[in-house]
Amino acid sequence: MFKVFEIITQLFEVSFECGNKVGGIHTVISTKSKEMIKRYGDNYICVGFYEKSKAANEVMLEKIPEQWRDAFRELEEKGIRCYYGRWMAANKARIILVDSKEFEKNNINKIKAEHWEKYGIDSLRTDAFYNEPVAWAHACGMLIEKIGNFPYLTHFHEWLSGAALLYLEERIPNLPSVFTTHATVFSRTIGASIEKVRDLRKEEIERIAKERNIIAKHQMEKLCAHKAKVVTTVSDITKEEVEKILERKVDIVAYNAIDCA
């Protein structure tokens, strides 16, 4: 399983928090960037959510590379605007910020219907906190499909980037992919300790997820955990959560660490 990663020359790291500080994942990715750049150089490319005010403080925009111009133009015609630059907080890593607001207005219901028909994700009653990241991630998948030089590695963080994983996995079945869960949606929402989670049956988890109106997020997260070639998490406790709640064995526990050098 891991041999395929030895030939990877390009890495896309996809997170809602790349260049868009919301929580701790922003710190995890920005502090690991030094090692990623050392290994991959400019072939390490972060993909994040475009929020104008935050982007202005975090990203130094640059001219779009010539080899990507046609792809960016084609995406813009579909309502997806991409911004290219350097992520200053992440050792000037290359970054593409995806503005999917217009794309979401015209396509979110179609995307959700497709996810229901293909995967059984129950997103009928979801709100903007689900719809926005799903449309954004779907757009990220379209972007990577257009500019990626195969074989490349895709690394997705949390359910928010899950629609990108689904999009690419369907079109490029052998694409090397990593899915990282920093904390499961279920445990984060209900605030349950691992001791309480251990005693829950599968049916109870599904029932509680529906009652708390997180069923679509839970199903997206679980599906991504099963579709990804490699699943990682950040602690032994979260590993146990993933294996219980998402029913997928964790391949690697990558403990969070901050580069203080």
pTM score: 0.95
**Dihedral over alpha carbons 21, 27, 29, 30 (to 10 degrees):** 90
CATH code for the part of the protein at 9-253: 3.40.50.2000
Instruction: List the domain boundaries for the chain.
Output: 9-253
- What are the C-alpha distances in Å from 252 to residues 168, 234, 243, 244? 22, 9, 12, 16
State which H helix or E strand residue 11 sits in.
strand 10-14
| pLDDT (0 to 100) of residue 122 | 97
Contact 182, 204 (CB under 8 A): no
Pairing of β 177-181 and β 230-233: parallel
- What are the C-alpha distances in Å from 2 to residues 8, 175, 229? 11, 13, 9
Residue spans of the chain under pLDDT 70: 1-6, 192, 257-261
Residue 121 identity (one-letter amino acid): I
- The encoded tokens of residue 80 equal 């997806």
- In angstroms, the CA 224 to CA 185 distance is 13
| Alpha-carbon Rg for the chain in angstroms | 18
User: What per-residue string of b and e applies to 108-138 under the rule 16 or more CB within 10 Å gives b?
Assistant: beebbebbeeeeebbbeebeeebbbbbbbbb
Tens digits of per-residue pLDDT, 182-222?
A: 999 999 998 867 888 888 999 999 999 999 999 999 999 99
| pLDDT (0 to 100) of residue 261 | 44
| pLDDT (0 to 100) of residue 6 | 60
